[in-house]
Amino acid sequence: MAFFVQISLLRLMADNSKVRVRFAPSPTGALHIGGVRTALYNYLFARQHHGDFILRIEDTDSQRFVPGAEKYIIESLKWCGIQTDEGVEQGGPHAPYRQSERKEIYLTYAQQLVQSGNAYYAFDTADQLDALRKQAEADGKTFAYDYTVRQQLQTSLALPKEEVDARIARGDNYVIRFKMPENEDVQMDDIIRGHIVINTKTLDDKVLYKSADQLPTYHLANIVDDHLMEITHVIRGEEWLPSLPLHYLLYRAFGWQRPEFAHLPLLLKPQGQGKLSKRDGDKFGFPVFPLQWNAPDGSTAMGYRESGYLPEAFINMLALLGWNPGTEQELFSMQELIDTFSLDKVSKSGARFNPDKAKWFNAQYIRMADNNRLADIIAPLYAERGISVTPQRAAEAIALIKERATFPVDLVDLTQKLFIRPDAYDEKSVAKFWKADNVTRLAELRQILASEDLADPATAEARVHEWIKSNEYSMGQLMNTLRIAIWGVSQGPSIFHIIAFIGKDEALARIDAAAASLGQGA
């Protein structure tokens, strides 16, 4: 694979060309994380080679167009930090970047293929084609519109030119199909998959243009736009690999220099079998979309952003699904990904999605995140719970517990008791540690705490530990009893950091409240 990457870049250097890649989604619904990964790999490749990343919306399939999907795609890329150089929002020298706004140009190119003998008109109706399929099925065969039938059907290859012209002139519906060579080995090179050979006997004559809606199919529009937009590398999903022979032949038919191709592996279900789908997320309770999707029919699907994932954690997780840097490093900033990414280290085989690993990444980025930024993120969550706290105090609280958090909501759960006194105590902790002897010693400890300056956690901890040891009390028993009184449960952050944060008066009041609520113990 490294060989094909090197040859590709050497060719660019020789031609003095600039790397130009595109992400070309269809606005048919929410952007799947597999699509986001395709956009990411294109973006990383472009940035590493000081090239351009283009966003093109391929909306020629009017039957599947979903309102709001294009806006969702744009917002998703922005949240991920994937910046476009040209596209539907900012425009560019190759505008427009929405295929429905370019439809006037495609018929000219389709007709050019007809004139050169590489395509032909076909006038078969949907009912006629359906009848042919049913007949083939009855004969135990599969119907294919290819070289074996095209001269027996209603095509410009079989009909007199006068009749073809007359049909077109009177407005009969037609399609333009590519004339697939009858028996040719198509030699192809893929940056990820190496050398591929496909014989055209296995391929049918794909539709390139439909007069009924005056729109091209994906195959024609894709090739024409990539050529006109000077795309040098097409990095796309594995599902487009079967289309590669046709696309190779289209470039040849037009006489254009083709871009380099790289087909990315599928994202697989957590079990490892089959492509990751929206249904898997619904079934197992994890997002498969970057942002929450609110469909026109009122249905919703959860997103990574709304589920509490930081965008840099999401991107880091996604980058490693199918690409391996060849080192033990797992945490990468966007710039580190740009510097390190290479298509020759992208796997051919599918990448199994692991929702637990996604959570691990988020926990790592929560720990690395600036506390003030996290405070801004969770401010609305505090408000929802009626907790009034300044951003500075929130950031100080986060610093105490962020090592224990996976999501922003965890930060709220874990810091809540720093601002609101516990009104309940963990039953298991109470049963284990709230014993009569421990409660008696806690009362003694309260007096020690009342006489000490507790603002410095290290000093307070050293003083208390010295007192416990000098009295030959059980450190574990007494400290866990203190933690129950202050925190409500025998686990949590450093108790002396908690006391320093809430202040001496509040700490003593919490000990008194616990004694009043729980009594003298068993």
The residues, any chain, with a CB within 8 Å of residue 385's CB and separated by 6 or more, are 412, 416
Distance (Å, whole) CA 178 – CA 218:
13
Q: Burial-class residue 383 by CB neighbours within 10 Å (0-12, 13-18, 19+).
A: exposed
- Which entry of 201, 278, 345, 348 is annotated as an active-site residue? 278
Distance (Å, whole) CA 494 – CA 510:
16
3-state secondary structure of 190: strand
CA-based nearest residue to 435, from 486, 474, 491: 474
CB 260 within 8 A of CB 192: no
Long-range Cβ contact pairs of 142-149 (< 8 A, separation 24 or more): 144/204, 145/177, 145/204, 145/205, 146/180, 146/203, 146/204, 146/205, 147/180, 147/182, 147/205
Query: Which DSSP helix (H) or strand (E) runs through 235?
Result: strand 233-237
Bridge partners, residue 175, by sequence: 122, 210
Torsion of CA 485, 486, 488, 491, to 10 degrees: -110
Using left for φ > 0, alpha for ψ between -120 and 50, and beta otherwise, residue 50 falls in left
* DSSP codes joined into one string, 111-122: HHHHHTTSEEEE
Distance (Å, whole) CA 219 – CA 201:
19
Q: Is the peptide bond before 27 cis (omega within 30 degrees of 0)?
A: no
| Residue 78 a catalytic site member | no
Angle at 21 between CA 342 and CA 229, to 5 degrees: 160
Q: Which residues are catalytic?
A: 278
